[in-house]
Structure 1
Amino acid sequence: MKNTMPKNLVVILLLLPILARSQAKLSGRVTDEKQAALGWANVMLLDSTGKIASGTTSKEDGSFELQYRTGSFTLRISAVGYIDFRNALLLRGDTSLGNIALRADTKSLSEVSIIRRRKLVQFTPGGLVFDVQNSVAASGGNAVNALSSAPGVIVENNTVSMLGKGASRVMVDGRMVELSGEELMGFLKSIPSADIRNIEVIGNPPAKYQSAGNGGLININLKKGSGNSWKNSTTAAYDQNSYGTLSLSNVLLYNRERFRLSLSGNGQLGHSRVSQRLDTYYPSGLWNLDYTGKQDENKRSGRFALDYDLSKNTSVGVQYFGSRQTPGTSDHTDILIHNASVGLDSVLVNQGTRMLGSTSHTYNAHLVSTLDTMKRILSFDLDYFSFRSGFDNDFRATVFTPQMDFVRNDQSANNNSAQNIDNYSAKVDMEHPVKGLNLTYGAKISSIASSADVRYFNTISGSPVLDPSRSNSFSYRENNQAVYLSGTGNIGTKFGLNLGLRLENTQTTGRSADLARSTKTSYLKLFPTLDITFKASSSHNFSINYGRRINRPGFALLNPFRSYINSNSYSEGNPFLQPSFSDNFDLTHSYKGLIRTELFINRTANGFGPVFTSNSNDNTLVITRENYYKGLDYGLGVTLTNDITPWWQSQTLVYLLGSRTSFINGINANPSDQAHLYLSSNNTLSIGKSTKIQVDYRYHTAYTRGLYSFGNLSSLNLGLRQGMWKEKVSVSLLANDVFNRAYLRNYSSVVNGTRQVYNENNSSRYFRLSFAYSFGNKDIKVKQREFGNDEERRRTN
């Protein structure tokens, strides 16, 4: 396959070194008078006229780093509850200020009874950072709850996506998680929110990240603890919907000099309600399917991370994460079968049990070394991931008259499967700053093997009889080799530029043993990224972003086996699915960090997804996966972030979204597109020193995109958190989706002239009570050190 690279992109890359002009870095660490880290402090360099020449906020460990042009400045550092720090500086090159201690403003603290908290959301040039620790809605929950609370992140139908931009890939601590669908949701539910520091939403990821994900990347950062301290947090939570669940988690963080340790464990017991409805309008009459299930929510997980500094410049570390889940269900399905005159002909009742189980293990070993005084940082990572899952479904279908008199046993079967996934990867990354320019480059290789075995036994006679036509063994292997190069620098004082190129070579092989069929693919693709920023003034900032992405189908979608949902419907994969590609363009404007306006256009080629096809001959519903469309998604949105008072933080998003779709494979359906409005409002009220109230609302109108139509959706969440005993104890209460309107509604399509309308409401409305207790010591008296690069990644599937 022919690959080309725009000539102007090559020219710009070659010109990156000229961006070095008189640029330097200023770094340091903000602390209080006891040398405890002060995160989220404002750090600014003011020029001779008092205007901001450069600025940033300190990280959670108090550290900060910013770029500037050489000259004379005034350094100003401010934090709520502390006296502003000011100091004149003559800066001629890279400068480290070490620790900068702020003095407490005792007068201010004694007079203020309502204290302003750190921001729940902070915008970055390519996205935003959501502070999970500061969210009442995420308290006592898991990673799925935390993602659902992040602005602009949509978690629906077992898919994580960015607003208007399609499915996103999820990372944990910078390492890719390539599980999808129910497997991804299960994995994320095993991560307690108490173990999460923040969530990065990256709309246009730089070249050092893998090119996967049409809708960008979402990175879940786990807690690592501040320097020279230890902390233990225990959280217990109870959720009540139709059924109840009880969870318990513990997180221990210990950092001292060269040694950094993180330990966490999480367990959950209980049940949740599963409810689905599918109306299929066959020519012979309407079929109303109502499914209810009681699903086990039993899971346990644990994490271990250890880092050790071999020297001042070199550290090594290992990390492990494991989880075990058994989300079995007791199922009941009623299918009301009508005739063409809308009269009820019969009732088909499916009853059964599904025993599910999955186990995952993730291992990582890494080395990070600062090579010289230029701060060139070299890092190595080795990763291994294993995923094992099993599925055992017993069901029986019985036909009744409309008066519920027994007619016959229509079907009885056992459908079981097992899936094994192993992933090995190795990567090397180099951060190579030169004067005024930061280069990063690296390489990665990965190998993924998946095997699945599905068996269908007919049990209507009382003894299981294997049905070879509904059974299959499938194996899949994928190898990927990638190299990348990116450069970041400034052009004068107004412009910033980030250019990147990533080259990926992929080979795949899929084989169906029972069908005696193999498929092989091989492709070499180039993925450029471009980010241009323009600082028009101290109040106005602009940025233009472009990135090319790839969306590879998950293993389950490639497996051609049939998984029976009930006696007359099943889902099957497609071994011939090909990846889709997208080109993403974004233009954003920010005004004083308060108003952010975004215009985006995403073009998708060879898009794939589920297709609901009904067979009117035997009234069977089949869910397949196909490359069936190409499309254009676009949107215009405004985000207003406003501190209405020092104690009331508010953020409001309003987006107008649209699409244009065409079908590419002769599917017997007509595309349709309709624009829709999305809005959300997140409000956090900090009352007194220890009380926090959160009120979140979101809504989108009904719309149509391509093959599918979606109903409107709304959600109102109310939360309260009360701190006690000097914030060592907190009690949280959450009412999620108060009016029970945040579920998949009227998800419909028309294929082969048959219309299907689907609704799914899996415990959308629930109430949660959580209790958290934290204790530790932030004043371990040791020499303060700077830890190197935290960036570690892996692709797991």
Structure 2
Amino acid sequence: MRKKLRNKNFLIALFLLIPYLAICQIEVKGKIKNNTAPVPFANVALVDSLGVVKSGATTDNNGAFTIKTVKGAYTIKVNLWGYKSWDKKVSLENSTILDDIMLISDSKNLEEVVITGKKRVFEQQMDRLVFNVENSPTAGSGNALDALKIAPGLMIQNGTISILGKGSSQVMVNGKLMQMSGDDLISFLNSIPAGNIKKIEIITNPPAQYDAGGNGGLINIVYKEGMRNSWKNSSSFAYDQNRYSSFTLGNDFLYNKNKLRFSLGLNGSIGAYRALESFDAFSTNKLQELDSDTKQKKNSFTGRASVDYDLTKNIVLGLMYLGNIRRPDQDNKSVTQLFDSNHNLEQIIQSKGFNDREYNSNIYNMNVMSKLDTLGRKLTVDFSYLDYNVKQNNSFATNTSVPNDPAFMQQRSAINNSGQTIENFSAKVDVEHPTKFANFSYGGKLSFNKSNSDVKFFDATTNPPVLDESQSNEFEYKENIQALYASGSKKISSKLSLQLGLRMENTTTEGFSKTINQTNKRDYFKLFPTFYVSYAANDKNNFVFNYGRRINRPGFNDLNPYRFYLNNNSYSVGNPFLQPSFSDNFDLTHTFKKKLSSNLFFRVTNDNFGIFFTTDTEKDLQVITRKNYSKEYYYGISESYTFDKYSWWTSQSSLSLLGSKTTLLDDINAEVQNGVRVYFNTNNTFSLTKTTKLEVNYWYSSKHKRGLFENGQSHSLDIGVRQSLLNDNLKVVLLITDLFNTSYLNNSISIVNGVKQIGNFNYSNRFFRLSLLYSFGSKKVKADNRKFGNEEEQRRSGI
């Protein structure tokens, strides 16, 4: 196996050296001046005998330029606004230093020019939809979460962000996957001012250069970066009030001068929210009703720092760090009532528990980007390291009483301690290689994952507590992935463009349970093709079709066969035999006048896995397991429209019709829930005055069936007022979300092993918010799109 791995790694290294072997060039150097000083930012091009630009460069602050090219006869052309064009024929056989080039001012071109063009709010590119937040009056004054709510095709419910038809999506910031999920991710996005965001990229079918893992697509939030010799600082504060309150403080600082670019972001939250859950199970002879009330802490701190330094004109070194500390402790009270077939109360189980939890993660990244030549060839190398640690100390006590026997009282206490460490190291190489025929990119990635978990269960009814070996476990998991990819894009004509890609991934896994002495190994090699075609019929109509194959690997926790007790009669257990699922994704989009977008999608998923609720009515246990249980066909159509006819009212709205068909695997005893869903959302901004805006946002989801679940209808109305002060440097926001408390997941019904189960999960979506954002410094910005190299591993860690 080691020899096989070494051979694969050697082939990857050899493959990535190809661009260097192909380079055999000479250099042309020179300086451009006017009568008194060097001329920076002048465009210098080498043009062949057919008038085709073969290579070029832009002069630096000293008027100097360097062009790499091959031997041949050329015309050197120099152009810069305010100067007369300059050209000269040359024959290049060796590297050459030209005499200084003198430009002459052209007074006719120095008249004032007024630029009236403006980038569209939404741009449909071949492999993604780009939402230019900086050009949206609706999104620009809020935070990152507000911007995501407005982006077409996105849904945000119960702390989950998803693309319609794709399920839960991965959220990246500047190309790196966020290591947070649920409420911590929502809180972090709330702390990012929308004024610091340049654009949001919605990637339904990620191209070959991205990891093949994950079925939910990618959402990439691209920060702005300060222009040369500038800095900017944004400070934010938010106060949320539901049953409990929480506070969030954040600060983002950007600095850019000469060769150095630096950014620092700090974000902290403290407080809590209320989680209400109910879970009823019906069988032929028993009814079980569980009601749970949890105070969920939101204490967290996140720090982000990045430094980019220009080592030379063509080489940039970047260092990044992202750290997160969370203390999401839980204080839980629950009551379980057991009834017989005649609905007579038999038992009452009251449980109190406290879960002391610590989550710590650190991501380190080094990035080197090298421009290979002036033709646009570029090499990028990433090294990333992730460490993630979890500690949980879950203690609970239960009292069981029998209404017909007042003298009966059974008490039990238990302690469920667990710990997990995850380490990942990845090395990633990407090459951009444009040619006259097409633009190519290729590269590879090596990823090494290691996860260790240790769970101990103690019966604390006696003193001291007694270790229960049958409910304790140590689990080790290793996973190595080797990947190569190549893609090419070509503009066939002024109307038609194509892009093809292929990613190859080889995966080896080994899971070992020390407690039961059980080892599970796998080794599989898979291909993941992608295809994109874009056709611009005319100025009003544009069509984009894409296809991509994806893999959804189980998370590390999903594979761990230990029991984690939520309370005395409810636990979650992993499955070391889970297999990855594979999906084929088809997507067709039509854009009319860049305002009306129609989307049609179809997805087939094989070996689909997920959470599987079962109830053991004999032992009064509710068990959350994981299984590969189905093959699913998921499809839908949606319409999105941007309305901006009036200066005082802008709106983005969408309507979707979604459907699914699920076929269960042979060994699953459950009822399939196939059906259709209607989803509608609208986001509206009304300009009451020049500095005051009213926002009214609404979404609706119909009652629907999918997979093993039927879910009730839900909807949400949000109303907010935004006030700009101090020349737009200070923004004050008052917001009420989910005004009628109707957005939570309700009446979630499944029938497994003949037991009907109904769940309701209300996580305090209704709350009042007061937020402040104060910005000062330079307002000149440009996009920053730096990445970490281990995005897929972070996602599967569930952090």
TM-score interval, normalised by the smaller of the two chains: 0.7 to 0.9
RMSD: 3.0
**Alignment match, 1:757:** 758
TM-score normalised by length of structure 2: 0.81
Q: Deviations over 1:660-681 (max 9, x none)?
A: 1101141111212011111111
Q: CA deviation at 1:294?
A: 1.1
Q: CA deviation at 1:128?
A: 2.9
Deviation at 1:579, TM superposition (A): 0.5
The alpha-carbon distance between structure 1 residues 123 and 273, as it changes in their structure 2 partners (threshold 3 A), is: farther
Q: Take 1:736 and 1:217, find their aligned partners in 2: how far apart are those partners?
A: 26
Q: Tell me by how many angstroms 1:356 deviates.
A: 0.8
Distance change (3 Å), C-alpha of 1:275 and 1:372: same
Letter in 2 for 1:639: S
State yes or no: 1:631 paired with 2:632.
Answer: yes
CA separation of 1:158 and 1:720: change in aligned 2, threshold 3 A: closer
Alignment CA distance shift 1:561-1:366 (3 Å): same
Report deviation, 1:434. Answer: 1.3
Deviation string 1:220-254 (CA, Å, 9 cap, x unpaired) is 33443344321011111100111110111111101
Contact 2:157 2:743 in 1 (8 A): no
Shift of 1:521: 0.8
SS in 1 for 2:419: strand
Can you give the 5+ residue segments of structure 1 that lack an aligned partner in the other structure?
1-84, 90-98, 109-115, 781-785
Q: Secondary structure at the match of 1:193?
A: coil
2:665 corresponds in structure 1 to 664
Instruction: For 1:789 and 1:194, locate their aligned partners in 2 and report how far apart those are by CA, in whole Å.
Output: 17
Q: What is the 5 A alignment of 1:151-190?
A: 151-156=152-157, 159-176=160-177, 186=184, 189-190=187-188
User: What is aligned with 1:446?
Assistant: 447
User: How far is the alpha carbon of 1:773 from its aligned partner?
Assistant: 1.1
Q: Which deviates the most, 681-690 or 211-220?
A: 681-690
Paired AA for residue 790 in structure 2: R
Structure 2 equivalent of residue 466 of structure 1? 467
Superposition pairs for residues 189-268 of structure 1, below 5 Å? 189-190=187-188, 192-194=191-193, 197=197, 198-268=199-269
Aligned to 1:554: 555
Q: What residue number does 2:367 align with?
A: 366
Say if 2:570 is the partner of 1:569. yes
Alpha-carbon distance in structure 2 between the residues aligned to 1:394 and 1:330: 10
Q: Deviations over 1:770-791 (max 9, x none)?
A: 11111113579xxxxx999745
Q: In 2, distance between residues paired with 1:558 and 1:613?
A: 18
Counterparts of residues 62-101 of structure 1 (less than 5 Å):
none
1:355 partnered with 2:356: yes
- Partner Cα separation in structure 1 for residue 559 and residue 120 of structure 2: 43
What's the offset of the Cα at 1:348?
1.1
Residue 789 and residue 362 in structure 1: after superposition, are their counterparts in 2 closer, same or farther (change >3 A)?
Answer: closer
CA 150–645 in structure 1, closer or farther in 2 if over 3 Å, else same: same
Query: Following TM superposition, by how much is the alpha carbon of 1:132 offset from its aligned partner in structure 2, in angstroms?
Result: 6.1
Contact 2:427–2:789 (8 Å) recurs in 1 = no
Match of 2:737 in 1: 736
- Structure 2 partner of 1:391: 392
Could you say if the C-alpha distance between residues 718 and 183 of structure 1 is closer, same or farther in structure 2, counting changes exceeding 3 Å?
A: closer
2:790 alignment partner, one of 787, 794, 797: 794
1:316 corresponds to 2:317:
yes
Paired residue secondary structure (1:295): strand
SS in 2 for 1:589: strand
Residues 288-316 of structure 1, C-alpha deviation per residue, up to 9 Å, x if partnerless? 11101112211111111110112222211
Q: CA deviation at 1:628?
A: 0.6
Q: CA offsets per residue over residues 705-751 of structure 1, 9 Å max, x none?
A: 12111111101111221111111111111111111111111111101
Between the aligned partners of 2:404 and 2:778, the Cα distance in structure 1 is 70
Query: Which moved further from structure 2: 629-638 or 771-780?
Result: 771-780
Partner SS state of residue 441, structure 1: strand
Q: Deviations over 1:478-527 (max 9, x none)?
A: 11111111111111112110111111111111111101111111111110
Residue 159 of structure 1 and its aligned partner are, at CA, apart by 4.4
2:305–2:322 Cα contact (<8 Å) kept: yes
Find the residue that maps to 2:461 and give its secondary structure: coil
The equivalent of 1:689 in structure 2 is: 690
What amino acid sits opposite 1:316 in the alignment? Answer: L
TM-score (norm 1): 0.81
- 1:570 & 1:361 partners in 2: Cα distance? 29
Contact kept? 2:127, 2:203, Cα under 8 Å: yes
597 and 778 in structure 1: CA distance in 2 versus 1, 3 angstrom threshold? closer
| Identical amino acids, percent of aligned pairs | 42
Aligned pairs for 1:511-550 (under 5 A) are 511-550=512-551
Contact preservation (8 Å) 2:222, 2:784: no
Structure 2 CA distance for partners of 1:359 and 1:580, relative to 1, 3 Å = same
Q: Give, in whole Å, the separation in 2 of the partners of 1:379 and 1:100.
A: 40
Q: Deviations over 1:647-666 (max 9, x none)?
A: 32211111111011101141
Task: Deviation per CA, 1:331-377: give whole Å up to 9, x if none.
Answer: 10011222211122332110111111101111111111111110111
Paired residue for 1:50?
none
Q: 3-state DSSP class of the match of 2:243?
A: coil
Distance, in Å, in 1 between the alignment partners of 2:466 and 2:597 is 62
Give secondary structure in 2 for the equivalent of 1:414. strand
3-state DSSP of counterpart to 1:461: coil
Shift of 1:535: 1.0
Q: CA deviation at 1:287?
A: 1.5
In the alignment of these two chains, the number of paired residues is 688
Determine the structure 1 residue equivalent to 2:707. Answer: 706
Question: Cα deviations across residues 603-659 of structure 1 (Å, max 9, x unaligned)?
Answer: 000100011111232121111100010010000111111213133221111111101
How far apart, in 2, do the equivalents of 1:511 and 1:157 lie? 34
In the alignment, which residue of structure 1 is the partner of 2:656?
655
**In structure 1, what is the Cα distance between the partners aligned to 2:221 and 2:128?**
14
Which has the larger displacement, 164-173 or 586-595? 164-173
Segments of structure 2 that go 5 or more residues without pairing to the other structure are: 1-80, 86-108, 795-799
**What's the CA shift for 1:693?**
2.3
Q: Which deviates further from its counterpart, 316-325 or 218-227?
A: 218-227
Amino acid in the other structure paired with 2:724? G
Question: CA separation in 1, counterparts of 2:221 and 2:465?
Answer: 45
Structure 2 partner of 1:603: 604
Asked whether the equivalents of residues 132 and 193 of structure 1 are also in contact (C-alpha less than 8 Å), the reply is no
Instruction: Confirm or deny: 8 A CA contact 1:583 1:602 kept in the other structure.
Output: yes
